[in-house]
Homo-oligomer: A and B are copies of this chain.
Amino acid sequence: MTSAGRHLPPELHDALAARFGSRFSTAAAVREHHGKDESSFAPVPPDAVVFAESTEEVAEVVRLCAARKVPVIAYGTGTSLEGHLHALWGGVCIDLSGMNRVVAVRPEDLDATVQAGVTRKALNAQLHGTGLFFPIDPGADASLGGMAATRASGTNAVRYGTMRENVLALTAVMADGSILKAGSRARKSSAGYDLARLLIGSEGTLGIITELTVRLYPIPEAISSAVCAFPAIDDAVATVIETIQLGVPVARIELLDALAVAAINRHSKTTLREAPTLFFEFHGSPAGVEEQARSVQAIAAEHGGMDFEWATRPEDRSRLWQARHDAYYACLGLRPGARSLTTDVCVPISRLADCIRETVADLGASGLTAPLVGHVGDGNFHLLLLADPADAGENERAKAFSNRLVERALAMEGTCTGEHGVGVGKRKYLALEHGAAGIAAMRAIKQALDPDNILNPGKILPE
């Protein structure tokens, strides 16, 4: 599967070098940097990297590669988690990080158009003073193009949805180098096949997203955060489920197990009680926020919630959420030198307690170290299975555990990946999740839109 890159055809090399000059590179360090993400998969570098600055340049590269059937892989910030960027059959990586221009902000329409390389933090920085913000927040400061390509979400999705709901329109370069514009700035449309939604989550295998128009939201008049510890993880999960079922419009509701809290305390110098913990955030009018918080506090109290602690000052809230965001790196710090196999199942909320309970029991039996963090308002949680790369046995145990977890989630009508995407890592589950007819339809679409299989080959679709 990871049979490394054939070499670049010399005339393609020369054509790209001539066209892009210093923005074309075959240097080993550059190639290595572009052949990996933040997963534990061994890097597979591309044969060359082009630093593109416009949709037209991306189209030029794709046309040059298409003529020679050479693979093309788009790169944003390299923060994906399933081997999305690995050049399994070599080819050219197009780095879009230079496409970092916010093309337009339209406060009156609550939307913004950005080039694909703009990161979520960069967009929010540019929105300063407009009274608006872009809510989707996967933790990493990912590029918006990459977030669209993996259908990313994160902590705010329970209130604001995922990239699926928040991209109005996009521009993509297709496998033949043509430039497609999908969707429109209208809030809704019934005008034909939803090509925008098809490209969102296609992980660069159907087209390369180069520009997108996203929804913005008014910064809530009032925001408050809260942290609450629980005697057991079941109590925390029960609190989440009741909150969602009551229809309380929480903006974030995040679960960390005791081990994850310990990791955060160590990494972020916080002093949280090392017990299963929920992080909440409420958005709304001052009265609305208070109402939501009161409801949630009452639910938490019924389930043994302790140390319910408020943060309304922006600096306290920032510190709290920064700690939550750093959880991935904090957890990696629990075992220096270990790599994380990160799981990403998502189940209907009614099955969340069962799924977590069975998973925690399985974890105990497995002898693995794995903190748990999750966007549990959506039924989505992650285990960071920390394994020593040199310990083949431990890695096998981690993979077997992950397999069992995916099978458990699918049996509960869930999905193998709530937000990280398929990449290389989840390909083997796709047939189990979507069945033969689903895989046949996906293959037919891939074949129709990329007949030579040059766009990020070896990702999503099973062998």
Contact = CB atoms under 8 A, between A and B. Distances in A.
Nearest to A350: B108
Interface stretch (A92-100, A228-236, A429-437): A429-437
Contacts of A350: 106, 108-109
B437 A179 contact: yes
B444 A449 contact: yes
A301 B440 CA distance: 57
B194 A164 contact: yes
Contacts of A164: 188, 194, 197
A182 B448 contact: no
Contacts of A194: 151, 164, 194, 197-198, 200-201
Contact of A445 (B181, B437, B440, B448): B448
A418 interface: yes
Given A180-B438, A445-B445, 17 more contacts: A108-B241, A108-B245, A109-B348, A151-B190, A165-B165, A174-B437, A178-B437, A181-B434, A182-B434, A187-B349, A192-B201, A193-B442, A194-B194, A220-B247, A285-B291, A287-B291, A448-B448
B445 A447 contact: no
Contacts of A400: none
Given A180-B435, A195-B441, A198-B198, A152 B108 contact: no
Interface stretch (A5-13, A335-343, A409-417): A409-417
Contacts of A436: 178
Interface stretch (A261-269, A384-392, A420-428): A420-428
B380 A185 contact: no
B165 A417 contact: no
B347 A186 contact: yes
A293 to B, nearest CB: 13
A244 interface: yes
Nearest to A292: B285
A334 interface: no
* Chain A: number of interface residues, binned into ranges: 35 or more
Nearest to A436: B178
B179 A413 contact: no
A184 interface: yes
Contacts of A291: 285, 287-288
Interface in A152-181: 152-153, 157, 161-162, 164-165, 174, 178-181
Copy number in the complex reads 2
Contacts of A109: 348-350
A246 B241 CA distance: 31
Nearest to A446: B193
A206 interface: yes
A110 interface: yes
Interface in A287-321: 287-288, 291
Interface string A356-385: 000000000000000000000011100000
Determine which residue in A241, A422, A445 has the highest number of CB atoms from chain B within 10 A of its CB, and name it. Answer: A445
B188 A419 contact: yes
A437 B448 CA distance: 13
B217 A247 contact: yes
A198 B193 contact: yes
A136 to B, nearest CB: 11
Nearest to A347: B186
A348 B349 CA distance: 35
Contacts of A419: 188, 190
A356 to B, nearest CB: 14
Nearest to A180: B437
A405 interface: no
Contact of A190 (B190, B421, B445): B421
A439 to B, nearest CB: 8
Interface string A182-222: 10111111111111011011100010000000000110100
